[in-house]
Amino acid sequence: MTRFAAPIAEQIWDMKYRLKEADGTPIDQTVEDTWRRIARALAEVEDDAPAWESKFYGALEDFKYLPAGRITAGAGTARSVTLFNCFVMGTIPDSMGGIFDMLKEAALTMQQGGGIGYDFSTIRPKGAGVKGVAADASGPLSFMDVWDAMCRTIMSAGSRRGAMMATMRCDHPDIENFISAKSDPARLRNFNVSVLITDPFMEAVKAGKSWDLVFDGRVYRTVEARDLWNRIMRATYDYAEPGVIFIDRINAMNNLAYCETIAATNPCGEQPLPPYGACLLGSINLARLVSDPFGDAAALDEAALDDLVRTSVRMMDNVVDASRFPLPQQAEEAANKRRIGLGVTGLADALLMLGLRYGSDEAAEQTRAWMKRIARAAYLASADLAEEKGAFPLFDADKFLASGALAHMDEDVKDAIRKKGIRNALLTSIAPTGTISLYAGNVSSGIEPVFAYAYTRKVLQKDGTRTEEEVVDYAVQMWRDLKGDAPLPDHFVNAQTLTPMDHVKMQAAAQEWVDSSISKTINCPEDIDFEAFKNVYLEAYETGCKGCTTYRPNAVTGSVLSVAEDKKSAPEVVSKSDDEPATPHGDVIYIAEPLDRPQTLEGNTYKLKWPDSEHAIYITINDIIVGGRRQPFEVFINSKNMEHYAWTVALTRMISAVFRRGGDVSFVVEELKAVFDPRGGAWMQGKYVPSILAAIGGVIERHLVSIGFIAGEGLGLKSDPRAQVVNLDQPRGPACPSCGQFGMQMIEGCMTCPSCGHSKCG
């Protein structure tokens, strides 16, 4: 017997969470060993460690409580890793030395796998004077480019993919350039970007008033508020960024408004944090707590929920003491406030089991009721912990209870906090749960609707072949097990059949009882009218949301997969029609066997002169036509400098071997461009190139652009897609940059791969 509800769950565990030796030999023989490892590690700080280990194990058992991936993979391993998911870095000083100090701190944090957020509003605008050097400031966007390069460098060093959030206030003089920055797809590829929207700005938008752009007390320019709002909306409509964060609401509702000011969030937006703020995450799996699913007495076991929340809060509080931190300031901030972010996953599946249609008024009310119950249980549990172990050091009862988030809390909870204190300053958050939801049997992710009832996943076997397996939503599989071939009821809906306002309604319902924020994607149809699109954001603001992230598939963002409805069986995932614009990397050709070299090939030869080098390098790239499309086939690199001979020959052979297998070989460009020479790079045509290998990568990239293989500079993949041979007649969605499988989905604000769990957000 296995605890895993689906094969994909066991694969995710083995790939991401199972503790192994350096050579790959498993230490965790079973998932029970993993649960035991986590429970034991988090119980070590308790006076009665064996008793709490047993209690913690019971919460983890059968995937009822799901610690975030960093905790599941790192707790009890003795590895020097952080168990915290979310960081916002220190306030960036408006000075060159201070800016680069912050860059160093970001690199150290990202090296340990932390996703980071930054507010760039503190950097003076482009063109502002710089005292003492007779120069003008380059502006915050130029320094964001430096951060982006740093993130790329950390990634090239082999660590976990980095993720960053950049925010800027809506009254910063460079806000218009910030809004349009990602219209260039080659720029800021490692950043999510969001505009900090203030209440006065929203009032100015609604009233049709002007709006001052200000820095350090000086008005640089005055614009029309509606014009600026329309710029934000148009950018989001066209290429899915920037996001919108209602920053005044976040600060007004913050339990700690009396001792901190928030100006940034973590990369997915569910954790608004102060400078050096950090938060850990975990989720209650609501789908595992429903009794009599699809039956007349279907209900969530509320007593079990209360008990599970109490245990989860204690486990998460212990993580604060068990975790390492990249920086001492982060450790101090975490210890002073003991923030945790307890959320949910499997919400949509639980609603389906109760016969409720996601997006309906009834489902919204049920969501609100469940989230209130979780909030109550979490605050009461934290108050009990405070009585036992002490309140968080910066606790001030009067100020804490006067905060916006506590204003509508029940009086018995307030009384408990007043009497006992509270252990954790903030307790609830709804984070992206894509991977841990797969690990838990493919339950619906976070508070998102079911994306697809079923899809086919290709699995790489040890002998190099691939097998296909069906991955079924947890609730759909339960329906099949209970009802056989009976058609799915009408209340079964998925992300493609919901209106944007249904999404907003569910986010607002959950937000009422979440003291941090929520990571959620509001899916919009491609043909949504621009005015209707803007109304989504206005509705989010008016209904109490702390931010808003939408996704409208188009030629720029790539088409998310649509779902064909079939009541008799779980639908398959299919892509948009072939006459739509091609998505990046979605139309390359994979060659089953390396092709024999034709007698003649077309190509180009490029001369590369590296500064301070006596001899030039000549790079010849030849192409082949496959399926009516030109793609690179081989490379020759030659130089009179004999010191270059060995590595140029090796590079020639390796790159040519990769090119001849076909597929999306643009990752070669990204790998070469990421190589840094410790002796220093060089400035070439106004750009800093970190090494001669990076320069060669740039030449190959420009060739690929010239033949139409990639759309522009910076649009290659970071890593080898390792893709299988595909039938070119079959439509498909965007390819995953990690595993090469087609079918990337926008979930909880992140492009996510259903096959391997890869996420843009780290």
Output the six-digit token pair for 577: 């029609």
CA distance 553 to 687: 33
CA distance 710 to 272: 36
CA distance 494 to 437: 16
CA distance 331 to 335: 6
CA distance 272 to 269: 7
Kind of pairing between the strands at 129-130 and 135-136:
antiparallel
CA distance 286 to 307: 13
The helix/strand/coil state of 77 is: coil
Neighbour count for residue 602 (Cβ, 10 Å): 11
CA distance 642 to 638: 10
In the set 255, 266, 285, 424, the catalytic residue is 266
User: Catalytic: 266?
Assistant: yes
The helix/strand/coil state of 693 is: helix
Angle at 728 between CA 727 and CA 733, to 5 degrees: 95
Cβ–Cβ under 8 Å, residues 400 and 427 = no
Edge-first strand listing for the sheet containing 602-608: 602-608, 617-626, 629-639
User: Catalytic: 641?
Assistant: no
Cβ–Cβ under 8 Å, residues 101 and 130 = no
CA distance 552 to 525: 6
Residues 6+ apart with CB under 8 A from 326: 82, 87, 105, 108, 109, 111, 112, 114
Residues 6+ apart with CB under 8 A from 364: 505, 506, 508, 509
Cβ–Cβ under 8 Å, residues 679 and 610 = no
In the set 268, 279, 545, 753, the catalytic residue is 268
Cβ–Cβ under 8 Å, residues 536 and 550 = yes
Beta strand segments in 39-163, E: 65-67, 86-88, 115-119, 129-130, 135-136
Residues 6+ apart with CB under 8 A from 492: 352, 450, 453, 476
Whether omega for the bond prior to residue 242 falls within 30 degrees of 0, making it cis, is: yes
Inter-helix orientation angle 692-706/645-660, to 10°: 30
In the set 53, 241, 270, 333, the catalytic residue is 270
Output the six-digit token pair for 184: 């260039």
User: Catalytic: 190?
Assistant: no
Kindly state the helix (H) or strand (E) to which residue 213 belongs, with its residue range: strand 210-215
Kind of pairing between the strands at 745-747 and 135-136:
unpaired
CA distance 400 to 418: 9
CA distance 305 to 301: 6
Q: What's at 166, amino acid-wise?
A: A
Neighbour count for residue 711 (Cβ, 10 Å): 15
Residues 6+ apart with CB under 8 A from 240: 550, 551, 552, 556, 557, 746
The helix/strand/coil state of 686 is: coil
DSSP state of 613: -
Neighbour count for residue 372 (Cβ, 10 Å): 15
Residues paired with 245 in a beta bridge: 196, 547
Neighbour count for residue 17 (Cβ, 10 Å): 21
CA distance 27 to 41: 15
Residues 6+ apart with CB under 8 A from 755: 457, 458, 736, 739, 741, 743
* Residue among 233, 227, 241 nearest 187 (CA): 241
**Catalytic center residues:** 266, 268, 270
